[in-house]
Amino acid sequence: MTAVTTPAADPASSSTVPLRAAIAALPAYVPGARPSGTAWKLSSNENPYPPLTSVLAAIQSAATDVNRYPDMYATELVETIAGHVGVDAAQVVVGNGSVAVLQHVLEAVVEPGDEVLFPWRSFEAYPIITAVSGGTPVTVPVTADGRLDLPAMAAAVTGRTRVVLVCTPNNPTGPVVHADELDAFLAVVPRDVLVVVDEAYLEFVRDPQAPDALAVLRAHPNVVVLRTLSKAYGLAGLRVGYALAEPRLAAGIRAASTPFGVNHLAQRAAIAALQPPAQAEMAQHVDALVAERTRVADALREQGWDVPATQANFVWLATGERTAELAAAATAAGVLVRPFAGEGVRVSIGEVAANDAFLALAATWR
């Protein structure tokens, strides 16, 4: 039998086209580890429940039309979201998940060299999206208990600041911004600076001091509210997010959006998810996850962990230099968590058995 050899790479076939410096320097987005075998996946902030019953039926029905292009403007979905939240349809922009929508927000307003200010640690896509848009990232540390330091963020605003990102609840630490804090912050931020209130985990919030983002939007035309159907609604695999903004800003964001950015199945699923039957089922799932969140956080504190007051569907453990070691031990034990090297681990709330497995493991770490 003749051996097959692979020819050496021809240097002449390698591209010499230079990449933008900002692209070449981008940090890698690290997704939650995917399970193999029987491992519990607590590494991604997903809804562990199966798709909502009526949503699954809508997906199955829509599957017969995937040979056709979707509605480019997602007109029915936009109108459904507008009715759901109580705004005009001209204020709604949809996209391929809230990350893509945020990308379009920055593309619409950020000029090369403009500063984009955000807390850190926060959502790891923020520095990536900022760099891709040509902006300059400026970070402000969160407090020792994982909360956004809005006074420090306000002090960091300069004449070059174009956008401020407010993640509430903050990913990966969990605490929510309080209404009085946000009001005080918006009172001092210049009106030509865009403030994005990122509410990806809104449905899990039970803190009575959390802001009413829609009221904030009505009072401040320089605010954009960002939301998603990936978490509470269980549509992470279909990617539907949306922004709420005053009509002129919304039109600009829409102009920067990818044509046909929300596929046909995703549009039909999202419309079904916002109908009363799915809303009721979703609320039951979220209530159960919030109860589990409380149980897990309380159990961790009883073990001796200092757990921030999370209002999302995850908990945060500041494990410092031991982070990589502990994450590897979790993987070996069949529980996948999300490590942030040198800082801590984020653990999503999953099935009861998965949460129990993690609690048993966390007890050995202490």
Q: From its phi and psi, is residue 320 left (phi > 0), alpha (psi between -120 and 50) or beta? A: left
| pLDDT in the model for residue 247 | 98
| pLDDT band at residue 31 using 50, 70 and 90 as cut-offs | low
Asked if 24 and 37 touch (Cβ cutoff 8 Å), the reply is no
Q: Are residues 255 and 133 in the same domain?
A: yes
pTM of the predicted protein model: 0.91
Per-residue pLDDT of 55-89, as tens digits, reads 999 999 999 999 999 999 999 999 999 999 999 99
Percentage of the chain with pLDDT > 70?
93
Kindly state the average pLDDT of the residues 234-263: 97
- The candidate with the shortest Cα–Cα distance to 193, out of 214, 165, 172, is 165
Per-residue pLDDT of 108-117, as tens digits, reads 999 999 999 9
| pLDDT band at residue 4 using 50, 70 and 90 as cut-offs | very low
| pLDDT band at residue 16 using 50, 70 and 90 as cut-offs | confident
CATH number of the domain residue 285 falls in: 3.90.1150.10
Look at the chain and report how many structural domains it folds into.
2
| pLDDT in the model for residue 15 | 77
**185 belongs to a structural domain:** yes
Last residue of a domain, one of 215, 240, 275: 275
- The two tokens of residue 211 are 């802001």
Last residue of a domain, one of 275, 302, 328: 275
Q: Which residue has the tokens 């001796």?
A: 304
Asked if 281 and 90 touch (Cβ cutoff 8 Å), the reply is no
| pLDDT in the model for residue 1 | 38
- Going by their DSSP bridges, the two strands 344-348 and 161-167 should be labelled as unpaired
**22 belongs to a structural domain:** no
Q: Are residues 169 and 311 in the same domain?
A: no
Q: Are residues 225 and 329 in the same domain?
A: no
Question: What phi and psi values does residue 247 have, to the nearest 5 degrees?
Answer: -55, -40
Q: Please tell me whether residue 39 adopts helix, strand or coil conformation.
A: coil
Q: Are residues 143 and 247 in the same domain?
A: yes
CATH number of the domain residue 146 falls in: 3.40.640.10
> Which residues form the domain of 195?
53-275
Q: Are residues 206 and 336 in the same domain?
A: no
Percentage of the chain with pLDDT > 90?
89
To the nearest whole number, what is the mean pLDDT of the chain? 94
Last residue of a domain, one of 230, 259, 275: 275
| Angstrom distance (rounded) from CA 363 to CA 70 | 50
| Angstrom distance (rounded) from CA 318 to CA 251 | 41
Q: Are residues 262 and 301 in the same domain?
A: no
Find all residues with CB under 8 Å of 362, minimum gap 6, and list them: 300, 303, 305, 317
SS3 annotation, 182-251: HHHHHHHCCCCCEEEEECCCHHHCCCCCCCCHHHHHHHCCCEEEEEECCCCCCCCCCCCEEEECCHHHHH
Q: Are residues 202 and 351 in the same domain?
A: no
| pLDDT band at residue 8 using 50, 70 and 90 as cut-offs | low
| pLDDT in the model for residue 3 | 44
- The two tokens of residue 63 are 């599957």
